[in-house]
């Protein structure tokens, strides 16, 4: 599982962007990435990550089939 490096991101937000800590923590990860210059937002999900999510959260087929 890939984890965020919160220390580095916090330093980039506070020192690099001049955000106050409470402003940093109110941002979504995508908003922070855009502010840091990654205009494309979050990276596309790879098939391996999709497979992990499907395993962790399988569809419930017990219902009415929808």
Long-range contacts of 29-37 (CB under 8 A, 24+ apart): 29/4, 36/12
Q: Specify the pLDDT at position 9.
A: 84
Over the chain (66 residues), what is each successive 10-residue block's mean pLDDT? 78 90 91 76 74 87 60
CA distance 51 to 45: 10
Q: What's residue 26's pLDDT?
A: 96
Q: In angstroms, rounded to a whole number, what is the distance separating the alpha carbons of residues 42 and 13?
A: 17
Q: Which of 18, 3, 2, 9 is nearest to 38 (CA)?
A: 9
pLDDT (0 to 100) of residue 2: 67
């Amino acid at each position: 599982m890939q984890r965020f490096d919160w220390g580095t991101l916090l330093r980039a937000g506070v020192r690099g962007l001049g955000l106050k800590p409470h402003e940093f923590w109110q941002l979504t990860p995508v908003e922070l990435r855009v502010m840091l210059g990654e205009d494309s937002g979050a990276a596309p999900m790879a098939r391996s990550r999709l497979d992990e999510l499907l395993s962790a959260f399988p569809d419930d087929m017990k219902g009415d089939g929808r």
